[in-house]
Structure 1
Amino acid sequence: MTLPLSDSALIGTCLAASALGLIVLTSGGGGAAPEPESAAQTETALPLGATPAAPDAVDPEFGEQVRAYLLQNPEVIFEAVAEFERRNAQAQGDMDGALIEANAEALFNDPMSWVGGNPEGDVTLVEFLDYKCGFCKRALPEVDALLEQDDNIRVIVKELPILGAESELASRFAISVLDLAGPEAYESVHVELMGYEGSITPDYLEDVADSLDLELEEIVAHMDSDTVSDVIEGNRALAQRLQISGTPTFVMGDQMIRGFVPTDAMLEAAAIARQ
């Protein structure tokens, strides 16, 4: 069975193949280029009056130097991969920072998003999540641990239902609860939905509402309101502008963290955001 290559390994393999091709080419092992069958064929492939360009000559001495160096130092190929990844990460980080700055108001000051942690915290963590996302569920205890270790972080949750009808149903329920019953009720619903592994159905949501003494009929009637729809569509539009394609995605300071990360990585991101 052939195992899939990681991005780094794939790039390294491509570079290695290119290096080997260069070795063959510069050492004369590639063979001569085929001659055209006739002068007429060459002439008809060129504009009228044009003359064929002479092929670039390869210095055999330089080729031998390249070949010898790569054979003696094959690790430079992977050093090049590491440098490529560093530059790529830097470019991605710069782009993320610009996107965050351009969308800061919608990210950090949206009145329709739930705010937790320390509302007066000096660093804000924004999480885009889906209630059917397994990695979002894994992230909940990591975020809780973050807040236990750093009590100066403000948390904002943005529902981004991208995994189907159950995701949308759960998001609409949670947003409706926030709008009608307030942030404490929302937090209880949020924790319940994130910890639930079964199918999200109207009957399940009815049980949730009953267990939390919520007004089910009012909440259900509000789920299809323009207010709730506007929140979801606004979050989707914001995610598109930020080039977010999956959940969870975290924004902290000018950093965008795509995918699940443990508490230690969040603490590190918070430290960078404070610099």
Structure 2
Amino acid sequence: MKRRDFLALSAGAALACALASQAGRAAAQGVDVDAILHDPDAPTGGNPQGDVTIVAFFDYNCPYCKKSAPDLQRAVKEDGRTRLVYKDWPILTTASFYGAQLALAAKYQGKYETAHHALMGISGRRVSEESMRDAVKRSGVDMARLQADLDAHGAEIGALLKRNLAQADSLGLEGTPVYLVGPFKTSTLDYDGFKQALAEARRRQADARR
């Protein structure tokens, strides 16, 4: 895993307002901005009408993802004006892929975030499939329905994971986690860091409208 510098400005992955003004450049670099921000199958959280979007690329066996997840959740909830897009990007272990499947299957019963937080709450670097399934079960997800949805929607889930991988590749991402916050690309932020990134993203959006 590669840890990135705090609030490192992305040369090829600006998002939201900043990306909209650079659509031609992004297209030339093979970055599908709309697909990253608005994939209809990607789970979302926060305020759907938020003025800033955070796109989170993560793996359920990534300790840095787990460390920053509670601060991300708190920052988005307290801010109230942020839209959050979840990009399951299972690149570390086979169990990571299994965990992503569980979370995405839970989406069909309206419990993606429930499963996501349960999986992020498991300690350790190499969590087994059994531990992941047990954590999701303890969270209150209907496991019989989850399995039925996984059987019925396995192709769509697999296609979404492939799109997430392709998007990560187009952005030149090398490790987890990665957070795209407005025009910034960064990782391993704490609560104050997320607040600062959101404030700076809004400031830049306001400057762009002048």
TM-score (norm 1): 0.60
Q: Which amino acid aligns with 1:195?
A: G
Q: Which of these residues, 122, 144, 151, is aligned with residue 196 of structure 1?
A: 122
2:56–2:177 CA contact under 8 A, matched in 1: yes
Contact 1:131-1:193 at 8 Å conserved across structures = yes
Report how many aligned residue pairs link the two structures.
Answer: 181
One-letter amino acid of the counterpart of residue 121, structure 1: G
Q: How does 1:48-197 map to 2 (within 5 A)?
A: 93-97=10-14, 101=23, 102=26, 103-178=32-107, 180-182=108-110, 185-197=111-123
Q: Conserved in 1, the CA contact under 8 Å of 2:66 and 2:120? A: yes
Residue 241 to residue 270, structure 1, CA distance change in 2 (3 Å): same
Larger gyration radius, structure 1 or structure 2 = 1
Pair 170,222 (structure 1): closer, same or farther in 2 beyond 3 Å: farther
How far does residue 133 in structure 1 lie from its aligned partner after superposition? 0.5
Q: Which amino acid aligns with 2:193?
A: A
Structure 2 segments unaligned to the other structure (5+ residues): 1-7, 27-31, 204-210
Aligned-residue offset at 1:204: 4.7
Match of 2:206 in 1: none
Question: Do the aligned partners of 1:209 and 1:216 also contact (CA within 8 Å) in 2?
Answer: no
Amino acid at match of 1:265: G
By how many angstroms is 1:197 displaced?
Answer: 2.3
Amino acid aligned to 2:114: S
Give me the whole-angstrom Cα distance separating, in 1, the residues matched to 2:131 and 2:193: 38
Structure number with higher relative contact order (C-alpha < 8 Å, ≥ 6 residues apart):
2
Percent identity, please.
29
Matches of 1:246 and 1:123, distance apart in 2: 23
Per the alignment, in what secondary structure is the counterpart of residue 40 of structure 2?
A: coil
Q: Which residue of 2 aligns with 1:251?
A: 180
Is the contact made by 1:135 and 1:248 (CA closer than 8 Å) also made in structure 2?
yes
Which of 121, 142, 146 does residue 213 from structure 1 map onto?
A: 142
Which has more helix, going by share of residues? 1
In 2, Cα distance between equivalents of 1:274 and 1:195? 30
Alignment root-mean-square deviation, CA: 2.5
CA drift at 1:268: 1.7
1:126 and 1:207, CA in 2 relative to 1: closer, same or farther beyond 3 A?
A: closer
Rounded to whole Å, the distance in 1 between the matches of 2:147 and 2:101 is 14
* Secondary structure of 1:169's aligned partner: helix
Query: Does structure 2 conserve the Cα–Cα contact (< 8 Å) formed by 1:176 and 1:222?
Result: no
TM-fit CA distance, 1:175: 1.2
Tell me the TM-score normalized by structure 2.
0.77
How many Å separate the matches in 2 of 1:171 and 1:94? Answer: 29
Gaps of 5+ in 1: 1-88
Distance in 1, matches of 2:78 and 2:200, equals 16
Cα offset for 1:200? 3.0
How far apart, CA to CA, are the structure 1 residues paired with 2:47 and 2:14?
A: 23
The structural deviation recorded for 1:162 is: 0.6
Cα distance 1:203–1:230, how it changes in 2: closer, same or farther (>3 A)?
Answer: same
SS in 1 for 2:102: helix
Q: Which amino acid aligns with 1:96?
A: A
Displacement of 1:255 in angstroms is: 1.3
